[in-house]
Amino acid sequence: MKSFVRLALLLGLFLSIGGSAKATSLSLTTCDSQGCEGSDVFLNVESAGGGNWNVTLTLDSTGYYGPKDGVVQAGFKAIEGATSISLISASDGNWSAAKFAGINSNGLCAGPGEPDFGCTRGYANIETDKTYTWNFLAEGGTMLGTSSWAIKFQYCDQSDTTCKGHIVSAHGDGTPGNPVPEPSAALVFTAGLLIAAPKLRRRR
């Protein structure tokens, strides 16, 4: 009995550690047809616990051949029904607080009809062979499958006050996303094993 309990606790610990570290990612390294202009884009989502989500948006400018000198909008769609969105950090430049808004050429983070699209506006100078990241926290909601994910940026010159620069609009490739298990699921599983242990012992 003691060995069974010990095994159940160890199994629960491993599942808890593995579950909390598991993430779902979308990597688009051949997205020129979607406006990437030689850059690569990535979107990573993992559970932050409590029904919240850590979201990392990445732009790798290696190979960028576009004429603009910077990025002025960055956004994503991966969580449905989140109650709030926050920009936790950005690797380069100054960026506004995140909000739910689409990215289009009508204005910075001013696109209509995109309640699940998180967006931040600012400016980061595009340099060759550099990786830029934006880290968000989405509170509540449900993670979508990667076939429904979207990554958007807008390139623009810093001096262009009425920016009409190119918009990257990269989407998932149809592969369904894997749900991100939370540590609590592992704890429930462990509890079930412990409850079942006496019955299993009696059957022996």
pLDDT at residue 180 is higher than 70: no
Highest mean pLDDT among 14-23, 38-47, 119-128, 174-183: 38-47
Mean pLDDT confidence for 21-43: 91
Mean pLDDT confidence for 31-39: 93
Read off the pLDDT of residues 60-101 as tens digits, 9 standing for 90 and up.
Answer: 999 999 999 999 999 999 999 999 999 999 999 999 999 999
Same domain, 97 and 127: yes
CA distance 201 to 192: 14
**Which one, of 98, 99, 109, 88, lies nearest residue 167 by Cα?**
109
Range scoring the smallest mean pLDDT among 38-42, 133-137, 189-193: 189-193
Same domain, 134 and 158: yes
Output the pLDDT for position 22: 77
pLDDT at residue 188 is higher than 90: no
**pTM, whole model, 2 decimals?**
0.75
CA distance 112 to 128: 33
Output the pLDDT for position 46: 97
- Residue 202: domain span: 1-22+182-204
More confident residue, 176 or 35: 35
Mean pLDDT confidence for 165-172: 87
Q: In angstroms, how far is CA 146 from the centroid of its own chain?
A: 10
Sign of CA dihedral 78, 82, 87, 88: negative
Q: How many domains does the chain have?
A: 2
Same domain, 18 and 28: no
pLDDT at residue 51 is higher than 50: yes
Same domain, 151 and 101: yes
More confident residue, 13 or 112: 112
